[in-house]
Amino acid sequence: MTAGATSAEIDRGRDILRASRGVVVLTGAGLSADSGLATFRGPGGQWRKHRPEELATPEAFRRDPRLVWEWYEARRRAAAEAAPNDAHRAIAEFALRRDDVTIVTQNVDGLHALAARCVATGPRRAPGNISRALPLELHGTFYRVRCTSCGRRREHRDLIDASSKETLPRCDDCGALLRPDVVWFGEPLGEAIERAFGCASQAEVCLVVGTSAVVQPAASVAMVTRRAGGAIIEVNPEETPLSPMCAVSLRDTAATAVPMLLAGCGGSSTAAC
């Protein structure tokens, strides 16, 4: 990891954001690292303990649904105990104060929505409809389940008992096993990605926070903005495949760099909840 973003780089990113119309904020697991949630890749990433093809695939679920649910349940509980960090809050305030921001996330932890709620209703209440700060969730969410047989989806926030196959949650309608409503490797992304590409093609800036930019097609969202003539600003302590295409790369953690970057551009460094 490098020493951190310089104030000249932050200023340059701010100038670009101030002069632009239409911003897509594309976020990944690194954004929630500062809330204590493990990433998949990068230092301390989860894939060092669990290989993706062992757990985050339809085949893995067919082979051993209990093991897959056990892994998800541990991550769901960690997410349920986590709080949005300063970067989630600054992004929410940025989206509420401006009317041209779309948040697109690969995260499934629900922290963008929590930040939106606390910034929209907290003591320093930001103006704007809360829906502006709710993200397009490209990879689904921990807090919804889907039937493996009839496909019915529903919200599910309760604890899941993954101690045996018999205790796993089942569909009220058809009795088949329920699975997390997240996108697994090899599965299609649904209509959220089309909406994200549409916004990205109209945006003058794509601000990319905490993603390794290797999971497709999510990583292409930034390239759509770039190809349409817009700029990419990246916040990541590590270099990524997008770095050579960026107008500004802030080599810093999200919770440090994002509030500084967005202060004065609509967001705030001290958005309180």
| CA-wise closest residue to 267 among 235, 224, 238 | 235
CB of 172 to Zn ion, least distance (A): 8
With CB cut-offs between 5 and 8 Å by kind, which of ligand NAD, Zn ion, none does residue 174 bind?
A: Zn ion
- Using the contact rule CB under 5 A, the part of the chain among 2-10, 84-92, 169-177, 217-225 near Zn ion is 169-177
**Can residue 171 be called a binding residue for Zn ion (CB under 5 A)?**
yes
Give dist(CA 156, CA 177) in Å, integer: 14
Give dist(CA 240, CA 95) in Å, integer: 25
CB of 155 to Zn ion, least distance (A): 15
- Give the residue closest to ligand NAD by C-beta: 30
Q: Going by C-beta distance under 8 Å and a sequence separation of 6 or more, which residues neighbour residue 111?
A: 31, 32, 35, 37, 79, 82, 83, 84, 85, 88
- Using the contact rule CB under 5 A, the part of the chain among 51-59, 114-122, 171-179, 217-225 near Zn ion is 171-179
Is the Cβ of residue 187 or residue 239 nearer to Zn ion in the bound state? 187
Is the Cβ of residue 44 or residue 127 nearer to ligand NAD in the bound state? 44
| Angle between helical axes of 191-202 and 220-227 (0-180°, round to 10) | 30
Give the largest CA-CA distance in the chain.
59
**Candidate list 88, 112, 139, 156, residue with the active-site label:** 139
Is the Cβ of residue 128 or residue 140 nearer to ligand NAD in the bound state? 140
CB atoms within 10 A of CB 122: 16
**Can residue 173 be called a binding residue for Zn ion (CB under 5 A)?**
yes
Helix, strand or coil, per DSSP, at residue 273: coil
CB of 145 to Zn ion, least distance (A): 10
Under DSSP, the state recorded for 133 is G
Residue 102: alpha-carbon gap to chain centroid:
12
Is 139 noted as a catalytic residue in this protein?
yes
Give the interface with ligand NAD as residue ranges (CB under 6 A): 28-30, 32-34, 37, 39-42, 45, 106-109, 139, 210-212, 215, 235-238, 240, 253-254
Q: Which residues pair with 137 in a beta bridge?
A: 105
Q: Which residues pair with 25 in a beta bridge?
A: 103, 207
CB of 39 to ligand NAD, least distance (A): 3
Helix, strand or coil, per DSSP, at residue 84: coil
With CB cut-offs between 5 and 8 Å by kind, which of Zn ion, ligand NAD, none does residue 150 bind?
A: Zn ion
Is the Cβ of residue 38 or residue 176 nearer to Zn ion in the bound state? 176
**Can residue 138 be called a binding residue for Zn ion (CB under 5 A)?**
no
Q: Going by C-beta distance under 8 Å and a sequence separation of 6 or more, which residues neighbour residue 127?
A: 96, 97
CB of 45 to ligand NAD, least distance (A): 5
Is the Cβ of residue 41 or residue 132 nearer to ligand NAD in the bound state? 41
CB of 77 to Zn ion, least distance (A): 25
Give dist(CA 28, CA 232) in Å, integer: 15
With CB cut-offs between 5 and 8 Å by kind, which of Zn ion, ligand NAD, none does residue 93 bind?
A: none
CB atoms within 10 A of CB 128: 20
Catalytic residue ranges: 139
Q: Which residues bind Zn ion (CB under 5 A)?
A: 147, 149-150, 171, 173-174, 176
